[in-house]
């Protein structure tokens, strides 16, 4: 059954290599129906009831029945190359028009690259069912017509012997466009061929795919593309589009991605990505052949970008005082990454917040840069510490103005003293982790330590 939702290939009994492709929704039967049954049969040349086209002797005659079924797009015809025509040779496909009662051209077909079959060109083939034929090409030109081959891949000259002598054009000479934007239309051994070409892709990094301790993105990533299956090599004169995306999922709750702008350049030119940010995770590099504005063959390469931890001394040198150094000791043991090389050191809170890097800041939320850039992680953590220290320093004043816990809504806390240096240190540390360390006892006029956990003790003990 033809005309349905799928393409249908019809073969001819006793004729290996014959295959007619009826495309989905392409058939219209004489009664207007769109789906029906069809048969394909071979007809011996001496049984053809009408004169062959242009006085030729067809190599193969067939009949597709019932007659007068119209096809749009035309049926793609494939027949064996029984005449041993050269690869790329163009011939015409003919079908018998029952209304005109003569053979009419259905367009061109050409010999496949391997020379085994003849296949109708895109948009050509059998437009109406019935009798049809694929004749051989006309006789070769003679000196009388100037030895004109009308063939972009072969030229002819009349020799002193009065005979035509033919010369193949150099391999790679441009020839007739087959209508496919992705094929390379070029001469090969005197025939017009249309190979598509296959892209190969390699991505290397001499110094590894790791964010350095500087920190900086890997500086030695090189992508190389090459087109195979076409001779001569078209790579230098073919545009290759390079695309690059880095993806990292943080704790299953946050995606940190970076997409580089596409780069179009000659295929022979190495691709060296220019990263706008410091990012790690899965890097996907895609190379695509661009021909006549169309995307053709494409390949991908994936690599994991990880980070290298700077030494503990480098981390300590970037922190302003012992106060911050001891926090970094407790929070990360002076690490930005869980291993070296590795992914960011993270702590996921039940509410979805993520502590990341050297100081494991959770509030406010760390920026995307802080996950892979240890300097940015420290800068954001120091900003949070400064705000917590300021809040801690202002805490006694807020207590003095508070009536919380006072009888009859009086200012019973008015005697709360400012923090000593040690008290301020402990309050600041606790606030960085969460909660308050000190509670004012207005009865005894003294600050009482009531930490919600042992975080301050752990920090002060870490070395």
- Residue 167 CB neighbour total at 10 angstroms: 11
Strands (E) in 172-260, as ranges, are 186-188, 191-193, 198-205, 210-211, 221-228, 239-250, 254-259
- In the structure, what pLDDT confidence band is assigned to residue 265 with cuts at 50, 70 and 90? very high
Which among 74, 62, 64, 70 is positioned nearest to 106, based on CA atoms?
Answer: 74
Determine how β-strand 210-211 pairs with β-strand 294-307.
Answer: parallel
Q: Which residues pair with 440 in a beta bridge?
A: 447
Q: Are the CB atoms for 370 and 376 separated by under 8 Å?
A: yes
Q: How many CA atoms within 13 Å lie on the side-chain side of 374?
A: 32
pLDDT at 136: 54
Structure tokens at 132: 């049809």
Which among 158, 185, 154 is positioned nearest to 170, based on CA atoms?
Answer: 154
pLDDT one-digit tens code per residue, 7-39: 999 888 878 888 999 999 999 999 999 999 999
Q: Is 110 helix (H, G, I), strand (E, B) or coil?
A: strand
Q: What does CATH list as the number for 199-307?
A: 2.60.40.2550
Structure tokens at 432: 């960085």
pLDDT at 383: 96
- In the structure, what pLDDT confidence band is assigned to residue 459 with cuts at 50, 70 and 90? very high
Which among 316, 454, 441, 324 is positioned nearest to 388, based on CA atoms?
Answer: 324
pLDDT at 188: 87
Q: Are the CB atoms for 181 and 263 separated by under 8 Å?
A: no
Burial of 46 (0-12, 13-18, 19+ CB in 10 A): exposed
Q: Is the pLDDT of residue 297 over 70?
A: yes
- In the structure, what pLDDT confidence band is assigned to residue 434 with cuts at 50, 70 and 90? very high
Look-up of token digits 């076409």: 230
From residue 134, alpha-carbon distances to 14, 52, 55, 83, 106 in Å are 17, 10, 13, 11, 10
pLDDT at 63: 83
Least confident of 128-142, 207-221, 311-325: 128-142
Please indicate whether residue 317 or residue 109 has the higher confidence score (pLDDT).
317
Distance CA 339, CA 348 (A): 17
Distance CA 278, CA 275 (A): 7
| Domain residue limits, the chain | 8-133, 143-193, 199-307, 312-461
Q: Is the pLDDT of residue 323 over 70?
A: yes
Distance CA 431, CA 425 (A): 10
Distance CA 372, CA 250 (A): 11
Structure tokens at 141: 């030109």
The predicted model gives 217-237 an average pLDDT of 94
Least confident of 134-138, 201-205, 358-362: 134-138
R_g (Cα) of the chain, nearest Å: 40
Q: Is the pLDDT of residue 84 over 90?
A: no
pLDDT at 57: 60
Q: H or E stretch including 111?
A: strand 102-111
Q: Is the pLDDT of residue 223 over 90?
A: yes
Q: Which of 145-159, 171-185, 249-263 has the highest mean pLDDT?
A: 249-263
The predicted model gives 93-118 an average pLDDT of 76
The percentage of residues in the chain with a pLDDT greater than 70, rounded to a whole number, is 92
pLDDT one-digit tens code per residue, 192-220: 889 989 999 999 999 999 999 999 999 99
pLDDT one-digit tens code per residue, 86-95: 787 787 777 7
Q: Are the CB atoms for 175 and 154 separated by under 8 Å?
A: no
- In the structure, what pLDDT confidence band is assigned to residue 113 with cuts at 50, 70 and 90? confident
- In the structure, what pLDDT confidence band is assigned to residue 134 with cuts at 50, 70 and 90? low
The predicted model gives 372-381 an average pLDDT of 97
pLDDT at 148: 75
Q: Which residues pair with 224 in a beta bridge?
A: 202
Distance CA 460, CA 256 (A): 34
Kindly report the average pLDDT of the chain as a whole number: 89
Matching CATH number, 8-133, of 2.60.120, 2.60.220, 2.115.10, 1.10.260: 2.60.220
Look-up of token digits 């110094």: 207
């Amino acid at each position: 059954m033809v005309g349905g939702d799928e393409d249908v290939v019809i073969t001819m009994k006793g004729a290996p290599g014959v295959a007619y492709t009826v495309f989905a929704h392409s058939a219209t039967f004489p009664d207007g129906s769109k789906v029906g049954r069809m048969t394909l049969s071979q007809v011996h040349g001496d049984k053809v009831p009408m004169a062959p086209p242009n006085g030729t002797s067809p190599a193969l005659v067939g009949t597709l029945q019932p007659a007068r079924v119209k096809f749009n797009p035309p049926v793609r015809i494939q027949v064996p190359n029984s005449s041993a025509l050269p690869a790329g040779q163009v011939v015409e496909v003919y079908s018998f028009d029952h209304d005109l009662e003569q053979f009419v051209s259905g367009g061109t077909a050409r010999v496949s690259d391997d020379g085994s079959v003849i296949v109708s060109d895109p948009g050509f083939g059998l437009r109406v069912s019935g009798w049809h034929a694929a004749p051989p090409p006309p006789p070769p030109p003679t000196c009388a017509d100037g030895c004109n081959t009308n063939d972009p891949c072969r030229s002819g000259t009349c020799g002193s012997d009065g005979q035509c002598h033919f010369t193949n054009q150099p391999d790679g000479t441009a020839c007739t466009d087959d209508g496919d934007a992705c094929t390379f239309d070029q001469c090969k051994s005197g025939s017009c061929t249309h190979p598509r070409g296959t892209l190969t892709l390699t991505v290397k990094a001499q110094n590894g795919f790791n964010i350095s301790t500087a920190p900086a993105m890997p500086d030695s990533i090189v992508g190389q593309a090459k087109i195979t299956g076409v001779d001569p090599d078209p790579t230098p004169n073919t545009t290759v589009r390079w695309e690059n995306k880095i993806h990292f999922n943080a704790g299953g709750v946050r995606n940190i991605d970076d997409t580089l702008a596409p780069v179009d350049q000659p295929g022979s030119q190495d691709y060296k990505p220019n990263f706008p940010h410091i990012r790690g995770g899965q890097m996907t590099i895609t190379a695509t052949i661009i021909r006549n504005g169309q995307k053709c063959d494409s390949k991908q390469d994936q690599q994991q970008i990880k980070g290298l931890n700077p030494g503990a001394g480098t981390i300590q040198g970037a922190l302003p005082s012992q106060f911050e150094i001891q926090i970094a000791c407790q929070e990360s043991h002076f690490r930005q990454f869980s291993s070296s090389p590795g992914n960011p050191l993270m702590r996921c809170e039940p509410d979805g917040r993520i502590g990341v890097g050297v100081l494991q800041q959770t509030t406010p939320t760390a920026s995307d840069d802080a996950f892979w850039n240890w300097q940015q992680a420290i800068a954001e953590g120091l900003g949070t510490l400064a705000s917590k220290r300021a809040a801690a320093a202002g805490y006694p004043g807020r207590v003095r103005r508070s009536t919380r816990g006072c009888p009859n809504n009086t200012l019973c806390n008015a005697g709360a003293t400012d923090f000593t240096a040690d008290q301020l240190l402990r309050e600041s540390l606790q606030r960085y982790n969460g909660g308050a360390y000190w509670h004012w006892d207005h009865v005894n006029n003294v600050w009482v330590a009531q930490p919600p956990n042992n975080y301050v003790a752990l920090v002060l003990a870490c070395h």
